[in-house]
Amino acid sequence: MSKPLSDHDRRKQISVRGLAGVENVSDLKQNFNRHLHFTLVKDRNVATKRDYYFALANTVRDHLIGRWIRTQQYYYEKDPKRVYYISLEFYMGRTLQNTMVNLGLENACDEAMYQLGLEMEELEDMEEDAGLGNGGLGRLAACFLDSMASLGLAAYGYGIRYEFGIFNQKIVNGWQVEEADDWLRYGNPWEKARPEYMRPVHFYGRTEHHPDGVKWVDTQVVLALPYDTPIPGYRNNIVNTMRLWSAKAPCEFNLKDFNVGGYIQAVLDRNLAENISRVLYPNDNFFEGKELRLKQEYFVVSATLQDIIRRFKVSKFGSREIARTDFSKLPDKVAIQLNDTHPAMAIPELMRVLVDEEKLNWETAWDICVRTCAYTNHTVLPEALERWPVELFAHLLPRHLEIVYEINRRHLERVAAKYPGDVDRLRRMSLIEEGGQKRINMAHLCIVGSHAVNGVAQIHSDILKATVFKDFYEMEPHKFQNKTNGITPRRWLVMCNPGLAEVIAERIGEDFIRDLDQLRNLVKFVNDEAFIRDIAKVKQENKMKFAVHLEEHYKVKINPNSMFDIQVKRIHEYKRQLLNCLHIITYYNRIKKDPNKQWTPRTIMIGGKAAPGYHTAKMIIRLITAIGEVVNNDPVVGDRLKVIFLENYRVTLAEKGIPAADLSEQISTAGTEASGTGNMKFMLNGALTIGTMDGANVEMAEEAGEENLFIFGMRVDDVEALDKRGYHAEEYYNRLPELKQAIDQIAGGFFSPKQPDLFKEIVNMLMHHDRFKVFADYEDYIKCQEKVNALYKNPKEWTKKVIYNIAGCGKFSSDRTIAQYAREIWGVEPTLEKIPAPDDKH
């Protein structure tokens, strides 16, 4: 028998990782050594693993630079319409491996490192995640950048270069503890500072009205310093730009105020200005109306619009002089996409620039603004909608408040003309909410100031039109669209699951990586014994690898033959991690009651961060860890049930865990999860889904066949009907003995014997004010989990369903999503053409 292949030899055989040509490898080794020596000034005998990572990163980066310069030159010459994706979050994760995948360098780099006696995976593990996002919204932006580059769009991601991203989560005695994410501590090899494009951003001050227009004066200035990160398309030689702004105090900051003797304090106070880009607000689906956050929102918008207008004005003939002054052409050359309402200030800011600075009349400026901007809504949860106090606005951005009032005045005039005498409609549709303290409804501002408004899954877009934005839909139905979210198959299949990508490529070729709809061709192989075996084998290998990772990092021994049942996402009541907990407890109680039965073994993993100020979410984490302490130490249960809280869930942990999952938990109350994207990642990586008819789950069931998912629970209509009747948790508690037992155990301290009333708040919430109706779906969820157990005992039938799921994933590529945005909102045409590489002579 031949000895098993080493990891390195196995990786070499994976064709989707690119070719390792001899010349290529020898060049890479040479450049690696050059960077070690000249860039890092290190000798091989004193270099650390981190030095080797930086040398490799710089070597790979060299392959980007020529393509980057050439791409930007190409856009400059062709002068296409440019797309500006503005987001307060870009959850990028690591860059090295993704860059190698998109450039086709993975096997060559692997071989070069191997020949130098280094292990590539160890070097990759030195890279910090760029955690500049909270969850779905920020990760979506990252997937979109990859797809926009891969589809040849002249697109730019604009955001903030936070010094501290999403906190690192530690679990201490079962509780979440946050620590600062100092991701830039060792430097970032992927970014390039661009001080020559620094821009001033103004705050505070007052307005002066003159016959020739309005002036905003006596402002405080903060400088926006851009850092550019290259975004390579998939093997098409295109490299786009993500530009993130960092806040800098101007040299004169606080010194011109002739504070006698206050020089030292004045220099120290520069921090106040620079705090704008210090830290990401760690809230997911929750609005916190803090002045610093509004400053961040205006900061990114103001700097970005200055950049957009500068780029619009310069001629394409290589001269610095201004070529374009006719702003009526702006919507033909610029598309601005607002990722949720966080960059909504782009609308009044664009109006300010056009009216106050470029001296256009209001009507012309407004027409340009609406045709340029488009808005994506990400949630219907009322607590997540941005409603800024007018008072704060007046203080921080006095001119913008005047502009918002004028937008509202004209908007309400149009409403009144269309619906005479309907004063309640005027109140509902106003941008300004009266009552206690006056607030600006940023979603209303975005709808009025955009030509397109979209939700992120069909059911979500339908809910927007039927409820949240019903009045606006009735008035301007043409504005409302759907753009179902997607994920990039480069990171979420080729990169994180090369074994699966290879098994697929052996059957249908490699083109699916660019055109994910080709996965449909796998349906032909659903009864092919060898294919079924290969799919199952890849899953088993991924489970073994993840089990090893967990044992190294969490010191827990897990049974790799158990079902890996995973729920990873931000901790939130609407996502119903508590429903998962109730299943765990019920399953535990059943095993205890009949320990000799053949139970399907499960390892249940739950991971995700709780916003630091979200008390209930932190208590949910404590409950999960408490259940784990009891279950995992019960000898009667043994390795038939284990509960693991996955600490510090982030992009890099998702890339390890998702390929190993058997069961994906997508169990939000119907009508609350706008789309979800983790659901798509699990589906693409060969897990089956247990889920409600919510978000994109609905479309996943459509694409793969509802019989190939485990769908349970109330639909949106049922939830509405239950709201009308009134939801009474006690009815379920009294009717369902297993539910009663589980709740009594939580309440009675079974999982917290040292603090019996530790979880009384959670029980009280579930029993008396549970907005998300956990008990209403409990019975159906448990029954559905029984079906999951039964099918898992039949591996062949399980794997057939997995194949149908993978085959149905085509729709959920972010390439499809972006192609739809491009054609239906931005008015640009995507292309799969390659442009010439820098070394091509044409």
Contact 582, 778 (CB under 8 A): yes
Q: Is the pLDDT of residue 691 over 90?
A: yes
Token pair in block for residue 249: 């105090």
- Of 696, 685, 628, 690, the C-alpha closest to 661 is 685
List all residues 6 or more positions away from 461 whose beta carbon is below 8 Å from its beta carbon.
454, 455, 480, 481, 482
Q: Average pLDDT for residues 636-652, to the nearest whole number?
A: 97
Residue tagged active-site, from 63, 67, 199, 378:
378
Q: What is the dihedral of CA 156, 160, 163, 164, to 10 degrees?
A: -100
Catalytic residue among 681, 773, 801, 811: 681
Q: Which residue has the higher pLDDT, 135 or 3?
A: 135
Asked if residue 642 has pLDDT above 80, the reply is yes
**C-alpha radius of gyration, the chain, whole number:** 28
Quote the DSSP letter at residue 833. P
Please say if 740 is a catalytic residue: no
More confident residue, 435 or 477: 477
Residue 591 tokens read as 């095993």
User: Looking at residue 841, what is its pLDDT?
Assistant: 44
State the pLDDT confidence band at 322, using cuts at 50, 70 and 90: low
Distance CA 608, CA 631 (A): 20
Asked if 220 contacts 272 with a C-beta cutoff of 8 angstroms, the reply is no
| Averaged pLDDT for residues 603-621 | 98
Helices (H), 281-421: 291-313, 330-333, 346-352, 362-372, 390-396, 398-418
80 contacts: CB under 8 Å, gap ≥ 6: 154, 828
Q: What is the pLDDT of residue 199?
A: 98
Whether 631 contacts 637, CB under 8 Å: yes
Active site residue 81: no
Report the chain's mean pLDDT, rounded to a whole number: 95
d(CA 703, CA 811): 8
Whether 39 is catalytic is: no
pLDDT in the model for residue 555: 83
Is the model's pLDDT at 479 over the cut of 70? yes
Q: Is 677 a catalytic residue?
A: yes
Q: Would residue 681 show up in a list of annotated catalytic residues for this protein? A: yes
CATH T-level fold of 79-94+129-486 = Rossmann fold (3.40.50)
Compute the distance between CA of residue 609 and CA of residue 650 in angstroms, rounded to an integer.
Answer: 9
What would the pLDDT profile of 108-160 be if each residue is shown by its tens digit?
A: 999 999 999 999 999 999 999 999 999 999 999 999 999 999 999 999 999 99
3-state secondary structure 233-300: CCCCCCEEEEEEEEEECCCCCCCCCCCCCCHHHHHHCHHHHHHHHCECCCCCCCCCCCHHHHHHHHHH
DSSP state of 44: T
Q: How confident is the model at residue 338 (pLDDT cuts 50, 70, 90)?
A: very high
d(CA 706, CA 724): 28
With cut-offs at 50, 70 and 90, classify the pLDDT of residue 258: low
Q: Which of 677, 689, 692, 817 is catalytic?
A: 677
Pair 802, 813: CB distance under 8 Å: no
Distance CA 164, CA 181 (A): 5
Length of the chain: 842
pLDDT at 317: 45
Q: Which helix (H) or strand (E) holds 198?
A: none
Rounded mean pLDDT of 728-746? 98
pLDDT at 315: 59
Q: What are the two backbone dihedrals, phi and then psi, of residue 117, each rounded to the nearest 5 degrees?
A: 80, 25
State how far Cα 329 lies from the chain centre.
Answer: 33
pLDDT at 324 over 90: no
CATH number of 498-812: 3.40.50.2000
Catalytic-role residue among 490, 570, 801, 811: 570
Q: Is the dihedral of CA 217, 219, 222, 226 positive or negative?
A: negative
* Cα 762 from Cα 747, distance rounded (Å): 9
CB-based contacts of 70, cutoff 8 Å, min separation 6: 237, 835, 836, 838
Q: Which of 86, 486, 463 is nearest to 301 (CA)?
A: 86
- In this structure, which amino acid lies at residue 329? K
Closest to 345 (Cα-Cα) out of 440, 471, 250, 219? 440
Is the separation of the CB atoms in 183 and 133 below 8 Å? Answer: no
Work out the average pLDDT over 578-593.
98
> Can you tell me the distance from the alpha carbon of 390 to that of 812, in angstroms, rounded to the nearest whole number?
40
Instruction: Report whether 643 contacts 584 (CB < 8 A).
Output: yes
Looking at 60-69, 167-176, 517-526, 549-558, which range is the least confident one?
549-558
Closest among 73, 94, 129, 492 to 241, alpha carbons compared = 73
User: What's the confidence (pLDDT) of residue 320?
Assistant: 59
440/426 Cα distance (integer angstroms):
15
Task: Work out the pLDDT band at 226, boundaries 50, 70, 90.
Answer: very high
Q: Which of 61, 248, 572, 575 is catalytic?
A: 575
- Concerning whether 215 is annotated as a catalytic residue, the answer is no
Among 100-109, 311-320, 770-779, name the one with the lowest average pLDDT. 311-320
Q: Could you give the angle at the alpha carbon of 132 between the alpha carbons of 130 and 136, nearest 5°?
A: 110
Reported as a single tens digit per residue, the pLDDT across 513-559 is 999 999 999 999 999 999 999 999 999 999 999 999 999 888 888 99
CA-to-CA dists, residue 31 to 132, 140, 298, 474, angstroms: 31, 34, 42, 61
Q: Residue 812 has what pLDDT?
A: 98
pLDDT greater than 80 at residue 337: yes
Q: What's the pLDDT at 842?
A: 41
Question: Cβ(143)–Cβ(484) under 8 Å?
Answer: no
Q: Is the pLDDT assigned to residue 1 strictly greater than 60?
A: no
C-alpha 516/C-alpha 489 separation (Å) is 8
User: Which pTM does this prediction carry?
Assistant: 0.96
How many percent of the chain have pLDDT more than 90?
90
CA 471/CA 449 separation, integer angstroms? 15
CATH topology match: 79-94+129-486 vs 498-812:
yes
Nearest alpha carbon to residue 388 among 380, 379, 399, 397 = 397
Burial letters 5-27, b for 16+ CB under 10 A, else e: eeeeeebbebebbbebeeebbeb
Structure tokens that stand for 44 in this block:
């091989």
Distance in angstroms between the alpha carbons of the first and the last residue of the chain: 52
Quote the CA–CA distance of 65 and 63 in Å, as a whole number. 6
From the list 11, 543, 569, 801, the catalytic residue is 569
Mean pLDDT (whole number) for 555-572: 95
**pLDDT over 90 at 64, yes or no:** yes
Q: Lowest-pLDDT range, 228-237, 358-367, 552-561?
A: 552-561
CA 56 to chain centre: 27
Enumerate long-range contacts of 558-563, CB under 8 Å, 24 or more apart.
558/603, 558/639, 558/642, 558/644, 559/601, 559/603, 559/639, 559/642, 561/601, 562/601, 562/602, 562/603, 562/639, 562/640, 562/642, 563/600, 563/601, 563/602, 563/603, 563/662, 563/663, 563/788, 563/789, 563/792
- Spatial distance between the Cα atoms of 250 and 646, rounded to a whole number of angstroms: 44
Return all residues near 362 (Cβ < 8 A) that are at least 6 apart. 351, 355, 406
Q: Domain extents for the chain?
A: 13-78+95-128, 79-94+129-486, 498-812
Under 8 Å between Cβ of 812 and 818: no
Backbone φ/ψ region at 509: left (φ over 0), alpha (ψ -120 to 50), beta = left
In the chain, % of residues over pLDDT 70: 97
